[in-house]
Structure 1
Amino acid sequence: MSYFRKNSGTGNGSQTANTPLRMKILVGIILILFAALIGQLAYLQLAYGSRFAAEVDSTDQNTVSKSVPRGIMYDSQGRILVGNKAINAVTYTRGLSTSSTTMYKVANALSNYIEITDEKPSERMVADYYLADSKREAKVKKALPKSQKKTSLSTSQINDYEVAYVEKQLKPSLTSKEKTAALIYNKMSGATTLSTINLKSNGLTNKEIAQVGEHLSNLPGVGIGTDWNRYYPNGSSIKSIIGSVSTTKTGLPSDNLQYYLVNGYSRNDRVGTSYLEKEYEALLKGTKASYKVTSKSGKVSKTEQVYAGQSGASLKLTIDAKYQAEVTKALKTQFKKAIGAGAAKLSSGAYAVAINPNTGAVLALSGISYDPSKQKITDNALGNINQSFVMGSVVKGAQVAGGLINKVITPSNSTLPDTPIYLPGSPVKKSVYPVGTFSSLDAPSALEVSSNIYMMQLTLRWIKAGYVAKSYIHMPQTAFQTLRNNFGMFGLGQKTGIDLPGESSGIQGSSFDSKTGLIRSGSVLDESYGNYDAYTPIQLAQYVSTIANGGYRMQPYVVKSIGHTSSDGKRFSAYYNKKPTVQFKIPWTQSELNVIKDGFYRVTHGSNAWGTAHSLKSVKPSISAKTGTAQTFYYNAKTGKSTDTELINETMVGWASSNNPQIAFAIVFAGFNPNLEGSYNKDLAKAMVTSYYKLHKGQFTN
């Protein structure tokens, strides 16, 4: 017994003695860990303190932006073609933690003071508005089958089921006031945090502004601001060149949404959707103002401007608004005359281009589309760049140039027999005048009387075709390409590069028969005098300018300079001016060019009875020109098919003055009655030239 007591006593004494040691070790470990923690905190503070501070600030500070006025467009004389007209707007700025319930209450309250009648809420908008009422939402959720409200489903999935239930089962009918509230709620819901949107601007009355202003204290986020609309003080006919801008309702185009979002646009931003507004969007939109918004406890405590923003760049065009109006008026006058005479009964429209042949600057771009079924005329200036037509004899200047450059004919020896072409099994291919009228013609005379025969005889020699009248013809496989390459030097059959989107390159007819695989010999001959491939009016203008200026193919353009408008809107300061661009130099000699210019001069000033535009002989300043007609057929827009009703395109190109070209023009009257051919193209040419020089007195010589 004493043994066990001794051992027991010894054990207790040892435990008592070791306790302080273990405590010391534990405390030591704690101190070491504590020191390590302090060291790590110090390291983080020194190494990453600024980064953490920035992250904390980022949760308390947000950067928001505000749109700036869009750039203005001026004509060549400084007149405003399109500007911004400020209008009042009811705005809404979404807070940091604004709930759908709050927006629902504000929308209902605001619908007491404004009415939106130019929009209608969609079924989805109605459903979202209906479910924004918590009591109605609870009833709808209760009515859903169990499978559609399981706890395993996400909130968005359940909401989709609720929306579907409201749309298909309840189909709520809203009062006009509730429809306005639904539209307002939808716009509020679509706004991003701290962004400002317009709830209503178009049609906003003074009474509505006053009522909203009186109740702003009860409408959190709602304010009175300004919006803008594009306006056209010099007429809207030029709008088809300028293009359009989207509304805040349509916002960014859906087909290019990601592009705009990546480039800093908001979904409800207004952007250019067509032509100049679209082509120069990056410049016209300007740079948004930037604000730093500081918030505490979910509420905005401070707003500080970081960047005032920069209004959009302004554009000065090459087009003179007064001259544009004169050309458009003259075009419509001649077209209406043709309608009255029955010549334009099935026409698709008419187009006219005026261009500075020395620079490529577009002076006027006018066009109209015509709907025969409705007898309706619509402005369509852009038809000059996106509509293609078989142009006829106006291209014969390029054909003669090809013959001269390739030494098929020479300035001193350009005479060819005026013998019709007889292909086996085909009608005779001839000129409009009777067979035998001329035994032979030189190049200038052929242009004056518009000889198809001359162009075909020239082609046979140029491409070295084998030909026996009525029995045999053989052409090389490269025949079409030879002619098209030549026309292409003048810009025919290819895009001109004008600074407008949507330009067409024209239409090429098929070169080979799809069944036999043989080259279309007769069509090669048609091509030689402009009755096969189709070109745009702007291509014709570039082509005739190339002849007028001595052989330089100039790129057409409509934006003359880019700059900024002063804050008072009275001064335009350019920081970029367009320089004329030479795309190609025709490799002819001066004597070869003189042959073509002589022919164009004879068209209007010659003495041959078969001359096509001698009625312009007395016009001052002197005009050199070429007329054309081309066979076409009526195209039924409703069926999308061509009919067997034969029509003609009446065309004309030229320049003035003959010895000092300042203006070149191209005219197309599409789809006229061949039996009622008139002088519409020549009368329009006269009006275009005389009105231009009337506005620019003293700038010409004969």
Structure 2
Amino acid sequence: MGEFKQKNRRAPHWGKFLNRLNILLVIVFALFAVLIMRLGYVQLVRGDAFTHLVQMTDTNIAKVGVPRGYITDRNGKLLVDNEGLQAISYTRGQDVSATDMAKTADKLATFIEMDTENLTDRDKKDYFAAKHMDELNDRLSKDEKKLSEDEVYDAQIKHISDDELDFSDEEKEAAAIFKKMNSAYAFTPTLIKNQEVTSEEVAKISEHNGDLLGVTASMDWKRTYPKNDLLRSVLGNVTTTEEGLPQEDADKYLAKGYARNDRVGDSYLELQYEDILRGSKAIYETEVNQNGEVVRQEQTYPGEIGDTLVLTIDSEIQEKLEKYAEDYLNSRTVSTNNQMYMVVTDPNTGDVIALVGKRRDEDGNIIDDALGTINSSFIMGSAIKGATVAAGYQYGIITPENNTLVDEPLNFAGTPTKASWWYTVNKDSSPKTLSDEMALTRSSNVYMIKLAMAIGGLNNYYSGMDLSGLSDETSPKLRAVYNQYGLGVKTGIDLENESPGINGGIPDNPGNALDLAFGQFDTFTPISLNQYVATIANGGKRIAPHVLKEVREGEDSKDHGRVVYSKEPKVLNKVKNTPEQIQRIQEGFYQQINNSEGLGYDSFEGFPIKIAGKSGTAETNEGENHSWVGYAPYDNPKYAVSIVTPGINQDAQSSNVQDIGRDVFEIVLGLNNQSNDQDNDDNNDSATTDTDQTTDDSVAE
């Protein structure tokens, strides 16, 4: 009985347990029922909404560069053009991983050929790391895993062995593609390939577009030069997509809406007129999926090509003068005959018709140095004497009615004899009374020296006199007048890095101040020499030379749109000489060419157009600098010319600078063509018929 009672006391315990288990089962069943009902609701009622959420994409804006504007000469002939190129580009999403890009690069490498010449070991390591990140993490030590993110990556790279970089050709191509992709900025299209892209490659990209997220077949462009190296240094260059924005100016460009890999002008005209040439970018809507990958691009704005720069340059004249300069240097065998510069402008407007510079490099090759016309300076010699005569007028030393001085050898205490060329060459010491016009015609050094002496307070010359009394203001006074004509100051040309020449300051030896008066002390640039003669030619207005003529609205047809900007002549100053005084300087230049005693008479005899000009020769340590300035037609100047051939070695074949002046004007005026241009027709009635003989014009002045 007792045992029976004990068993009965245990029964209620098991009953309670079974009751609790049943309750738990009911609760579980209820929860499953709720879950099933919820899943049914999600699938049947909200299924479409959640499917849309999973597939939802984000739309962003991508901007793509357009071809730059053209650059033409004054007659519309193309100097800088754009060549269209088939291209393959990649647009990187916001959060695309390196691993995903490596996978895309692998796929793309099976469809295109990629140049791997510039692929470095570091490029290969970056590609390898993107594909084997987990494996490289396992190779890290405990201490390396504690490093910063950048330091960890460097450690991972160090764990890649050389054997693992023994890539197949296709892997190398994939690595080259990955390099381009990895350098891309989010939503900024980056060129993968734009050289020798085949139609077959474009077709494959289009066919497998769904497998190559962010990759598209597109169009690109590159700068071309129809006139080859013509004026090449002045036109400037454009950066590549790899170079992108210059680092020092990146912030400035980014603030203007540029992307870091945009191509921009990096020198001279391409840089100077970047805002005009750049155009407006095409705009694309870019859809990105939940993984940050670009899945669709659609153009919403085609962009506009940059505007066209129309230059003042006449490319036909420029070409002929460049060839002339090359032929001149090619005929010289002595190493010092290495440079030649020529500038042609319209003296009434400042239009630069030609800007020619050629020099021989260290390897003996003749290269373009048009920029040397604005940033290289030389001692010019007697070509600048017109400005000295102008100074004599401005300081009241001479007048149009009273302007004669005696040319004679000058002997100063402690200074070598100073004389004109006929004394140094022919030992002719006889005194010669010269007017201002004849002093320019015959290129008298002594006349200019006596003007400078009088400006400096020494009015009466006597043999053996001491120059210590010459005022320190002599040189500054001369330069003040020279500056009015453009000598020794920047001309204001619309090109960067112009040099004003070298001002020698106040000479320690007062005799050097007198040398300044006939061009033997300060240095001047070929462009400043041109501005000086142009100022004389136009009657006394110093006009800034310029190479930009106008800007035209950009058009893909290359017919060039309407004019949106025209460059107007800019008068920098008017000289302080009267019209009568300037006319006497003009007449002196005219007589040097057309008077039988003029140094240019032999060279220009019989020339069909009236020309005025002035030559110069200066002795330097490198040899003789020959210079020449002139303008034509004399009665109605349309062209001003300056020529400089520095460092002439007399042991080499040489050319009289006056002969060069004639050759240049034959080219400029079109007289070397079978049919002369209108300038020639308009001025045939002004031809000279003088036949008198002159002195040898090849001597130093």
The TM tier, using the shorter chain, reads 0.7 to 0.9
* Deviating more after overlay: 483-492 vs 560-569: 560-569
- Is the alpha carbon distance of 1:139 and 1:329 closer, same or farther for their aligned partners in structure 2, counting shifts above 3 Å? same
Q: CA deviation at 1:296?
A: 5.5
Q: CA deviation at 1:506?
A: 1.3
Match of 2:590 in 1: 601
Alignment equivalent of 2:519, drawn from 530, 536, 544: 530
C-alpha distance in 2, partners of 1:171/1:458?
Answer: 83
Q: CA deviation at 1:302?
A: 6.8
Alignment equivalent of 1:157, drawn from 126, 135, 151: 151
1:504 aligns with 2:512: no
1:43-87 deviations in Å (ceiling 9; x for gaps): xxxxxxxxxxxxxxxx94422211122111121111111111101
Q: Which amino acid aligns with 1:129?
A: Y
Match of 1:187 in 2: 180
- Is the alpha carbon distance of 1:448 and 1:424 closer, same or farther for their aligned partners in structure 2, counting shifts above 3 Å? same
C-alpha distance in 1, partners of 2:533/2:386?
Answer: 8
Q: CA deviation at 1:511?
A: 2.6
C-alpha distance in 1, partners of 2:482/2:105?
Answer: 64
Q: CA deviation at 1:670?
A: 1.6
CA contact (8 A) 2:409 2:418 kept: yes
CA contact (8 A) 2:92 2:293 kept: no
- Is the alpha carbon distance of 1:164 and 1:544 closer, same or farther for their aligned partners in structure 2, counting shifts above 3 Å? farther
Alignment equivalent of 2:319, drawn from 290, 307, 325: 325
Match of 1:46 in 2: none
Give the 5 Å matches for 1:287-436.
Answer: 287-293=280-286, 295=288, 297=290, 298=292, 307-337=301-331, 339=332, 342=333, 344-371=334-361, 373-434=362-423, 435-436=428-429
CA contact (8 A) 2:603 2:662 kept: no
Match of 1:564 in 2: 553
Q: Which amino acid aligns with 2:620?
A: T
1:415-450 deviations in Å (ceiling 9; x for gaps): 112123334333222222225154332221211222
- Is the alpha carbon distance of 1:596 and 1:118 closer, same or farther for their aligned partners in structure 2, counting shifts above 3 Å? farther
C-alpha distance in 1, partners of 2:195/2:240?
Answer: 10
Q: CA deviation at 1:162?
A: 2.7
- Is the alpha carbon distance of 1:179 and 1:632 closer, same or farther for their aligned partners in structure 2, counting shifts above 3 Å? farther
- Is the alpha carbon distance of 1:675 and 1:301 closer, same or farther for their aligned partners in structure 2, counting shifts above 3 Å? closer
Q: Which amino acid aligns with 2:490?
A: K
- Is the alpha carbon distance of 1:166 and 1:460 closer, same or farther for their aligned partners in structure 2, counting shifts above 3 Å? farther
Q: CA deviation at 1:354?
A: 0.5
C-alpha distance in 2, partners of 1:139/1:468?
Answer: 98
SS at match of 2:669: helix
Q: Which amino acid aligns with 1:500?
A: L
1:671 aligns with 2:644: no
Let me know the Cα RMSD of the aligned residues. 2.5
Match of 1:232 in 2: 225
Match of 2:617 in 1: 629
- Is the alpha carbon distance of 1:173 and 1:412 closer, same or farther for their aligned partners in structure 2, counting shifts above 3 Å? farther
Match of 1:7 in 2: none
C-alpha distance in 1, partners of 2:653/2:136?
Answer: 72
C-alpha distance in 2, partners of 1:509/1:180?
Answer: 60
- Is the alpha carbon distance of 1:549 and 1:650 closer, same or farther for their aligned partners in structure 2, counting shifts above 3 Å? same
* Deviating more after overlay: 213-222 vs 297-306: 297-306
Match of 2:192 in 1: 199
C-alpha distance in 1, partners of 2:160/2:658?
Answer: 66
Q: CA deviation at 1:590?
A: 2.1
Match of 2:488 in 1: 493
1:248 aligns with 2:238: no
Match of 1:31 in 2: none
Match of 2:665 in 1: 689
Match of 1:63 in 2: 61
SS at match of 2:621: strand
C-alpha distance in 2, partners of 1:171/1:683?
Answer: 70
Give the 5 Å matches for 1:132-151.
Answer: 132-134=130-132, 137-150=133-146
1:543 aligns with 2:532: yes
C-alpha distance in 1, partners of 2:105/2:288?
Answer: 24
- Is the alpha carbon distance of 1:696 and 1:281 closer, same or farther for their aligned partners in structure 2, counting shifts above 3 Å? farther
- Is the alpha carbon distance of 1:687 and 1:62 closer, same or farther for their aligned partners in structure 2, counting shifts above 3 Å? same
Alignment equivalent of 1:480, drawn from 471, 475, 491: 475
Q: CA deviation at 1:600?
A: 0.4
Give the 5 Å matches for 1:260-271.
Answer: 260-271=253-264
Q: CA deviation at 1:359?
A: 0.4
Q: Which amino acid aligns with 2:70?
A: I
C-alpha distance in 2, partners of 1:138/1:295?
Answer: 26
1:223 aligns with 2:216: yes
- Is the alpha carbon distance of 1:468 and 1:163 closer, same or farther for their aligned partners in structure 2, counting shifts above 3 Å? farther
C-alpha distance in 1, partners of 2:447/2:152?
Answer: 80
- Is the alpha carbon distance of 1:177 and 1:606 closer, same or farther for their aligned partners in structure 2, counting shifts above 3 Å? farther
- Is the alpha carbon distance of 1:535 and 1:164 closer, same or farther for their aligned partners in structure 2, counting shifts above 3 Å? farther
Q: CA deviation at 1:542?
A: 0.8
- Is the alpha carbon distance of 1:657 and 1:162 closer, same or farther for their aligned partners in structure 2, counting shifts above 3 Å? same
Alignment equivalent of 1:279, drawn from 256, 264, 272: 272
C-alpha distance in 2, partners of 1:379/1:76?
Answer: 21
CA contact (8 A) 2:188 2:259 kept: no
C-alpha distance in 2, partners of 1:170/1:301?
Answer: 37
CA contact (8 A) 1:243 1:277 kept: yes
Give the 5 Å matches for 1:89-168.
Answer: 89-117=87-115, 119-134=117-132, 137-150=133-146, 153-163=147-157, 166=160
SS at match of 2:514: helix
C-alpha distance in 2, partners of 1:357/1:195?
Answer: 48
Q: CA deviation at 1:269?
A: 0.7
C-alpha distance in 2, partners of 1:171/1:418?
Answer: 87
Normalising by the residue count of structure 2, what TM-score does the alignment of the two structures yield?
0.82
Q: Which amino acid aligns with 2:533?
A: V
- Is the alpha carbon distance of 1:113 and 1:682 closer, same or farther for their aligned partners in structure 2, counting shifts above 3 Å? farther
- Is the alpha carbon distance of 1:299 and 1:92 closer, same or farther for their aligned partners in structure 2, counting shifts above 3 Å? closer
Q: CA deviation at 1:270?
A: 0.8
* Deviating more after overlay: 91-100 vs 396-405: 91-100
SS at match of 2:618: strand
1:315-365 deviations in Å (ceiling 9; x for gaps): 11111111211221222223333x0xx4x5313311111000000000111
- Is the alpha carbon distance of 1:138 and 1:395 closer, same or farther for their aligned partners in structure 2, counting shifts above 3 Å? same
Identity %, equivalent residues: 36
C-alpha distance in 2, partners of 1:428/1:171?
Answer: 82
* Deviating more after overlay: 92-101 vs 406-415: 92-101
C-alpha distance in 2, partners of 1:240/1:411?
Answer: 45
Give the 5 Å matches for 1:206-217.
Answer: 206-217=199-210
CA contact (8 A) 2:214 2:295 kept: no
Alignment equivalent of 2:633, drawn from 642, 657, 675: 657
Q: CA deviation at 1:484?
A: 1.3
Unaligned runs of 5+ in 1: 1-58, 513-518, 635-646
C-alpha distance in 2, partners of 1:358/1:595?
Answer: 19
CA contact (8 A) 1:405 1:592 kept: no
C-alpha distance in 2, partners of 1:584/1:89?
Answer: 53
C-alpha distance in 1, partners of 2:124/2:456?
Answer: 71
Q: CA deviation at 1:174?
A: 4.4
C-alpha distance in 2, partners of 1:173/1:430?
Answer: 79
- Is the alpha carbon distance of 1:377 and 1:567 closer, same or farther for their aligned partners in structure 2, counting shifts above 3 Å? closer
C-alpha distance in 2, partners of 1:465/1:174?
Answer: 85
1:618 aligns with 2:606: yes
C-alpha distance in 1, partners of 2:624/2:170?
Answer: 58
What is the count of residue pairs matched by the alignment? 615
SS at match of 1:236: coil
